[in-house]
């Protein structure tokens, strides 16, 4: 309870920084690129905060769904080259 009260009085900027740090750690964790400290931050937060847990689960479900939609489709040949050519033509 006392942590909740302490968090209630945090400055808005501090809460925004904490939120950004948490979301960045979630993205890195789901990409398999999080440091042990970032993993601990995410796990600690989602274990005690239902809102953070639901955000984590939503992000995880969305990523899983997107991966499942693209798993069976082949990438067109030379797609990377076509993208680079398009980018270069727009910047020329």
Q: Which domain holds residue 29?
A: 2-91
From residue 87, alpha-carbon distances to 33, 45, 76, 84, 92 in Å are 28, 41, 18, 5, 9
Mean pLDDT across the stretch 57-71?
A: 84
Q: What is the pLDDT of residue 18?
A: 83
Which DSSP category does 35 fall into?
-
Report the alpha-carbon distance of residue 1 to residue 7 in Å, rounded: 10
At 76, which helix (H) or strand (E)?
none
Q: What is the pLDDT of residue 1?
A: 46
Report the alpha-carbon distance of residue 14 to residue 18 in Å, rounded: 6
Q: Are the CB atoms for 22 and 52 separated by under 8 Å?
A: yes
Q: pLDDT of 2-55, one tens digit each? A: 555 555 555 666 778 888 888 899 999 999 999 999 999 999 999 998 988 998
Q: What is the pLDDT of residue 66?
A: 82
Q: How many domains are contained in the chain?
A: 1
């Amino acid at each position: 309870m006392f942590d909740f009260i302490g968090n209630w009085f945090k400055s808005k900027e501090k809460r925004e920084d904490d939120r950004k740090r948490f979301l960045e750690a979630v993205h890195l964790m789901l990409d398999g690129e999080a440091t042990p400290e970032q993993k601990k931050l995410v796990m600690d937060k989602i274990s005690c905060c239902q809102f953070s847990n639901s955000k984590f689960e939503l992000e995880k479900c969305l990523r899983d769904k997107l991966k499942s939609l693209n798993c069976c489709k082949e990438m067109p040949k030379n797609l990377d080259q076509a993208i680079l050519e398009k980018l270069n033509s727009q910047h020329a």
